Amino acid sequence: QKEVEQDPGPLSVPEGAIVSLNCTYSNSAFQYFMWYRQYSRKGPELLMYTYSSGNKEDGRFTAQVDKSSKYISLFIRDSQPSDSATYLCARQAGTALIFGKGTTLSVSS
Amino acid sequence: EAQVTQNPRYLITVTGKKLTVTCSQNMNHEYMSWYRQDPGLGLRQIYYSMNVEVTDKGDVPEGYKVSRKEKRNFPLILESPSPNQTSLYFCASSFSGVRTYEQYFGPGTRLTVT
């Protein structure tokens, strides 16, 4: 079910940059959208989730869903070296999660 | 500490030798799931369980078995492993219903089948 497409990167930015990570999806029959963060050699962990459309902000992170264009975005302000990780977008499909392939981000100091 | 544990963390085995990867959670979650993660393919669901004695196939179930006899445990069984099952495996758990969006992942098991 390739219903969540994500550019794998890698993406390299300097410390302090604004980062934009994006996904597109094809099935509009679901409402929860998530961003998971995965550090090297670790399991993914939930970073943010949004219900339906609109924005959700948590500190330096903003998750955005545009249902009209089927676009999911994660913005990171004032990026830090500790943000270096792989970011996975996901959507909820009934009892399952469908993940994008992940975008690897590297923030250099 | 709330966590999902997996064992072993690393495993090298040979084709055809049955193996089991254990998964346990201490958060009283109803929902548990197994994923495999492969370069270029991302995370794909193998099997999931809504509760004790309730399991169902995910996207890539071929070659795998699971069981859910206790709420906290969800082992993954490879009856006859093959090289194409070489992968990084993750167990995850969550509360059921809409709260499956918040899944807690284990640390992963890296399996190599030669």
Q: What is the pLDDT along chain B (114 residues), one digit of tens a residue?
A: 889 999 999 999 999 999 999 999 999 999 999 999 999 888 999 999 999 999 999 999 999 999 999 999 999 999 999 999 999 999 999 998 888 889 999 999 999 999
| Per-residue model confidence (pLDDT) at position B11 | 97
Residue A32 touches partner B, C-beta closer than 8 Å: yes
Q: Which residue of B has its CA nearest to A8?
A: B40
- Statement: residue A52 has pLDDT above 80: no
Contact residues on chain A for B94, CB-CB shorter than 8 A? none
Find the mean pLDDT for residues A32-58.
Answer: 91
**Out of B42, B96, B106, whose CB is closest to A99?**
B42
The answer on pLDDT for A2 being more than 60 is no
- Optimal mutation site among A95, A99, A101, A104, interface B, most CBs of chain B within 10 A: A95
Report the residue from B31, B40, B105 with minimal CB separation from A45.
Answer: B105
The two three-digit tokens of residue A41, written as one number: 């050699």
Per-residue pLDDT at A95: 76
Higher per-residue pLDDT: A53 or B36 = B36
A42 touches chain B (CB under 8 A): yes
The confidence band for A109, taking pLDDT boundaries of 50, 70 and 90, is very high
Q: Do A43 and B58 touch (CB under 8 A)?
A: no
**Chain A residues closer than 8 Å to B44 by CB:** 99
Q: Is B40 on the interface with A (CB under 8 A)?
A: yes
Q: Do the bridges between strand A45-51 and strand A32-38 make them parallel or antiparallel, or are there none, so unpaired? A: antiparallel
> What average pLDDT does chain B have?
95
Work out the minimum CA distance from A100 to partner chain B, whole angstroms.
Answer: 7
Residue A105 pLDDT:
97
**What mean pLDDT do residues A2-22 have?**
91
Alpha-carbon gap, residue B78 to B62, rounded angstroms: 10
Q: Write out the H or E segment, with its range, that includes residue A97.
A: strand A96-99
Lowest mean pLDDT among A21-30, A68-77, B22-31, B74-83: A21-30
Residues contacting residue B25 through CB under 8 Å, at least 6 positions apart: B3, B4, B5, B32, B72, B74, B91, B93, B104
Residue predicted with more confidence, A69 or A59: A59
